[in-house]
Amino acid sequence: MPNYRGSATLRPMSDLSNKHIVLGLSGGIACYKAAELCRALVKQGATVQVVMTEAAAQFVTPVTMQALSNQAVYVSQWDPREPNNMAHINLTRHAHAILVAPASADFMAKLLHGRADDLLSLMCLARPLDTVPLLLAPAMNKEMWAHPATQRNMAQLRQDGAIVLGVGQGDQACGEVGDGRMLEPDELLYELTALFQPKVLHGKKILISAGPTYEAMDPVRGITNLSSGKMGFALARAAHEAGANVQLVAGPVNLPTPYGVARTDVRSALEMHTAVMAQVERADIFIATAAVADWRPAQAAAEKIKKGSEGLPSFDWVENPDILADVAAHPRSQAGDLYCVGFAAETQYLQAQAQAKRERKGVPLMIGNLGPATFGQDDNALLVIDAQGVKELPRAAKLILARQLVADIAMRINTKNKGQT
């Protein structure tokens, strides 16, 4: 199961521009999160139409939601503002998606049976199924969440075509602790953003290494590099958005786990090699973005090395295993079952150095970038290098570049598979 630590790593940049989202609120204390979510959706470029149940209005006022959405809020199915008195029809026909957050246990049970006795349930029932997806963000007490009736209802709603999101775990308003909390606004924003990304890697298993490694010299000192891990984490997010099952092996970085991604933390090159090789049998694609140290001290000192009269300390150096080359030499890679992508961070002669690295490692695709110009930054510029030549990806946010790379890799995988059939 993925490890859901943290929320989305990089906020999308106007990913919801030109999207019209209907945000539904049913009754529950989690309505306070819907206010923050509404504000975030607007900041990301969406227009937001809020529809509330009467119960929701007990927790947060329509005035609040109107101020945040800059749109009139609808509560009653008898709202006279619609000329034809058919708000349940009019509000859905131009929507790109309906997100009900919070979705109470009662509201989901109502949807399951096709009951439509208020505006929000009417609207969900009347939406065009093929063009307006319905997302439900459950929120309830842990016992209500675990009840067999709730679990049956959610399973049937999914079968009927609704996207029932997961829940968080932690303190609840009632004072109990457990599953059933509504996802946080950042997580819901991610889910909605991902909804509109093409699922070009649906069902694929993606293994990504990211960040630096750290090679200890003594208990307090070591050798590392300036890699922040941001490109690898952006790729993990983009691959998950594209429908993949993503396993991220991360060196020592200070980044939250991309939502929905399973993460393994490592420190040294040896630890990263072990963690990656343990996943190779289950992966369809390996993307090696990590900046792995080429060497390590043969023996780290047991205690802190002190200054002394004997001059500078000396070490015997040992070459670290070549993770990308070892994965590329794996029988699954050689058989064409595992597609390998490398990254080359250079300081000069980028194209020539990256092409030589691609041939030396024996991988079909190498991504080149200038290390000093990208380490720690939120943007980058890339060269995509294969046996046929080079393609430039101009400087852009790393998440945008990651989505472009994911689309490129998916195209290559699909082309290769078509050629084998």
Check if the beta carbon of residue 79 is closer than 8 Å to that of residue 49: no
212/272 Cα distance (integer angstroms): 10
Which residues lie across from 392 on neighbouring strands?
383
Confirm if 268 and 8 have CB atoms less than 8 A apart. Answer: no
SS3 content of the chain, % helix, strand, coil (to 5): 35, 25, 40
Q: Is 124 a known active-site residue?
A: no
Burial class of residue 166, CB neighbours in 10 A (0-12, 13-18, 19+): middle
Please give the backbone phi and psi of residue 94, each rounded to the nearest 5 degrees, phi first: -110, 10
d(CA 382, CA 344): 10
The crossing angle, in degrees rounded to 10, of helices 185-195 and 230-241 is 60
> CB under 8 Å, gap of 24 or more: what pairs does 56-62 form?
56/25, 56/26, 56/27, 56/28, 56/31, 58/27, 59/27, 59/28, 59/29, 59/31, 59/32, 60/25, 60/31, 60/32, 60/34, 60/35
CA distance 76 to 84: 14
Which residues have a Cβ under 8 Å from the Cβ of 42 and sit 6 or more positions away? 48, 68, 69, 70
Rounded distance between C-alpha atoms, residue 397 and residue 404, angstroms: 11
User: How many residues are recorded in the chain?
Assistant: 421
Residues contacting residue 40 through CB under 8 Å, at least 6 positions apart = 185, 186, 189
The one catalytic residue among 31, 38, 174, 340: 174
How far apart CA 3 and CA 191 sit, in angstroms, is 16
Three-state DSSP string of 147-174: CHHHHHHHHHHHHCCCEECCCEEEECCC
Distances (CA, A) of 365 to 343, 370, 406, 412: 9, 17, 12, 10
Catalytic center residues: 174
